[in-house]
Amino acid sequence: MGRVGLGVAAGCAAATCAIAAVLVARRASARARWRRAIALLRDFEEGCATPPPRLRQVVDAMVVEMHAGLASDGGSKLKMLLTFVDALPTGYGLSSPPLRPLSLACLLAAPCAGAPPGLRPLISADAKNFSCGLMPPGATTVGLTLAFMEGFGVLTAIKVVWSMASWDMNLPTLLCAQHWVHRRQVVFHNGNVAWDVLCQTGIIAWGGALFGVQEYLIMMMVAAVATASRDGRTICMTDGIHIGLAGLLFFCFCHMFGFYFGGVSRSLPVRICTFDRNEEGTYYAIDLGGTNFRVLRVEVGAGSVVTSRKVELPIPEELTKGTIEELFNFVATALKDFVESEDGNDEQRALGFTFSFPVRQTSVSSGSLIRWTKGFSIENAVGTDVAQCLNEALARSGLNVRVTALVNDTVGTLALRHYNDEDTVAAVIIGAGTNACYIERTDAIIKCQGLLTNSGGMVVNMEWGNFWSSHLPRTAYDISLDDETQNRNDQGFEKMISGIYLGEIARLVLHRMALESDVFGDAADNLATPFTLSTPLLAAIREDDSPDLSEVRRILQEHLKIPDTPLKTRRLVVKVCDIVTRRAARLAAAGIVGILKKLGRDGSGVALSGRTRGQPRRTVVAIEGGMYQEYTVFREYLDEALVEILGEEVARTVALKVTEDGSGMGAALLAAVYSSNRQQGSI
C-alpha cells in the first residue's frame, strides 16, 4: 500500500511537473509571439519614420520633379499638366468702389514719407511723360511701358531701384526687340529673378533658359497688363510711355505707395481676362470622378456664388467598363432631367465639367484622356476629347448646354477658394485619392516656350499622386500593396497618403502579425482578404479614446470577425493605425511645402532664382477631402508637420482653408468666367 501510494504520488508529481512545463512553455511561447508582434511593430514604425530632415528631402525632391515636369513631358513622374486656366474668379460684389484721380503735381506737392532722397527732382524732370489715371483705394498695380535706347544702363538702373526698395515688384513682361530675341517672353513675377547674375553679366537666367540681353539690347519694354478695377471695369489700358531712369524710379515709387499713373497705348495691344463681377446668371456643373457623379445648379451674382440645387447619382458598374458614349449618354440624360425640372428657359447655358482623371488639355474647354483611374477601364476613351464627347451626348439629348470649362477637382477647388480669397495659390485634395494644382508663371513652363496668357500665369495640374522619390519611406507592406493593385509601379505617393489605401496598409501589417505572432488567435484568416479594413474604420480605431477601446473591440468583432481581443492587442491595433496615419499626413504636408518652395513662399533665405526673399507673404492653400476635413488626427499631424518643416514664423503666414464642394461650385464659376470672356471676345 505504501509503495502504491508512493507510486501514485510520484506519478502525480510527474504529471504536475509536465503540466507546469507545458504551461511554462506555452507562456514562454506566448511571450515570444508577443515579442515578435512588438518587433514587427517597431520595424514598421522605423520604416515609416518621417523626421523633419527626411521631410525636407521629400520637399526638395518634389521641387526637382516639378521643374522636370515643367521642362518636358515625360521628364518627371509628375505630369504637370497645363489646364489653360489663366483667369481665376475673385468675388468683390457689384458695388463700385470710389476711385481717386491722381496727378503728378499732387504727389510733388505732398510730402511722402519714405521717399528716397533725390526722387522729387527726378520725378519733376519727367512729369510731362505721365498722364493721370484712376485707381481704387488700396490697389497697388501699376502699368507702364519703359523704353530704353541702345546703350542705356538698364541693368544698372534696375539694380539701383532694387537697392533702394527692399520689396517685391511685379513687372509682368520683358520683351527684347533685337531680332534674335524678338518677342521672346521673359517674366518678372514678384521678383523671382537671378538678380545678381542679371546685374553683373546681363544674363537673365531661370527656368532652364538663358537670355543674353546686355550686349544686344536695343530696347527693353516692361509691358503692362490691362488693369481692372474691383468692379470688373477696365480702368486703363496702359503703356507706350518713353521714359528714362527717372521714370523707372517713379514707377517703383508709385508701386510702393499704392498710386497709379498710366497712359493709353496705341502700339501694344493687351487683352484682358478677368472675371466680370457684374456677370450674373445660372450655371451648371457636372462633377465626375468616381463611382458617383454630381449635378449642380449654381447662381452667380452680387459678389456671391450659391449652389441652388444639387443631386448625386451612382454610376452603374457596367458603365465604368463599357463605352465612352454609353457613359456620357447616361450623364447627359441625368443633366437633362435635372435642368428641365429646374429651368424651362431654352437659352444656351454654360457648363463646368469636373473630370477628375488625368487629361492632357488643349484649351480650357477641351482635353484628351490620358488614362483611367479609380476602377474605370473604358478602353475606347483613352486619347479622346472628353469635353467633345460630353457635348455630343448633350446634343443627342437635345439639351442646350455646352462645356465652357473642363477642369479637374483640384482646379475647381482652387477657383472657388480664389473667389473668396485672392491670396490662394494652390489647392490640394486628400480624400479617397489625392492631387494638387497651383498657379505657375508661364515663363517657368519650359515645355511650352512662347506660351502667352493674359495674366502671365496658368494653373498647373500636378497629378502629384504619381510623385516618387527614394526619400519616401517605403516599407515591405507598401511593396505588397503595390503588387496587388492594377496600377503597379504607378501612383506611389497616392498609395502612401490617400484614403483608398491607408486601411489596406494597416491590414497588411496586422495580417503579418497574425501569421507570425498569433496575436489574433485562430482569426488570422479573417485578415487575409484585401481591403477588408477600410480607411474610415482605420480612422475610427485611431480616434477611439475610450479607456477600454470599446470601439476598437466592436470593429474587430463586427468587421474583421476577430473576437475576444485583450486590451493590449487592441492597443497594438491602434498603434498600427496611428503609424499609417502619421506617415500619410506628414508626407502630405511635405508635398504642400514643396509647392510653396517652388513658388518662393516657404520662407527660405534664398529663392531658387538666386534672389534673396523679403518677408514671407500670406499664402492660402485650398484643401478638400475627407482625410483632412473629417479625420481629426490626420489633420493635426499634417498641421504639426507644416510647422516643423517651415518653422513657426513662416507657418503662421500659411493658411490651409477647407473648401467644401470646390470641385462642383468651382467648375461652375470657371464656366461663368470663360463663357463671359468668350462672349466679350477675350479668349
Residue numbers annotated as active site: 294, 356, 409
Is the CB of residue 532 less than 8 Å from the CB of residue 507?
yes
Give Cα separations from 343 to 249, 284, 286, 396, 651 (angstroms): 56, 11, 16, 19, 47
Which residues touch 20 (CB under 8 Å, ≥6 apart)?
none
Q: At CA 619, angle to CA 615 and CA 625, rounded to 5?
A: 155
- How far apart, in whole angstroms, are the C-alpha atoms of residue 554 and residue 556? 5
- How far apart, in whole angstroms, are the C-alpha atoms of residue 3 and residue 392? 103
410 closest CA partner among 356, 469, 488, 339: 356
Residue 359 has which C-alpha cell? 487629361
CB atoms within 10 A of CB 319: 18
Alpha carbons within 13 A on the beta-carbon side of 299: 8
Count Cβ atoms within 10 A of the Cβ of residue 634 and give its class: 0-12 exposed, 13-18 middle, 19 or more buried: buried
> What's 34-92 look like in SS3?
HHHHHHHHHHHHHHCCCCHHHHHHHHHHHHHHHHHHHHCCCCCCCCCEECCCCCCCCCC
- How far apart, in whole angstroms, are the C-alpha atoms of residue 535 and residue 539? 6
Alpha carbons within 13 A on the beta-carbon side of 530: 9
Is the CB of residue 185 less than 8 Å from the CB of residue 443?
yes
134-135/209-212 β-pairing: unpaired
Q: At CA 286, angle to CA 282 and CA 289, rounded to 5?
A: 155
Q: At CA 49, angle to CA 512 and CA 498, rounded to 5?
A: 75
The answer for 315, left when phi > 0, alpha when psi is -120 to 50, beta otherwise, is beta
Residue position matching grid coordinates 516599407: 475
Q: Which helix (H) or strand (E) holds 621?
A: strand 619-624
Task: State the amino acid at position 535 in one-letter form.
Answer: T
- 3 state DSSP class of 489: coil
Is the CB of residue 322 less than 8 Å from the CB of residue 391?
no
Which residues touch 189 (CB under 8 Å, ≥6 apart)?
170, 172, 441, 443, 456, 457
130 closest CA partner among 145, 113, 149, 110: 145
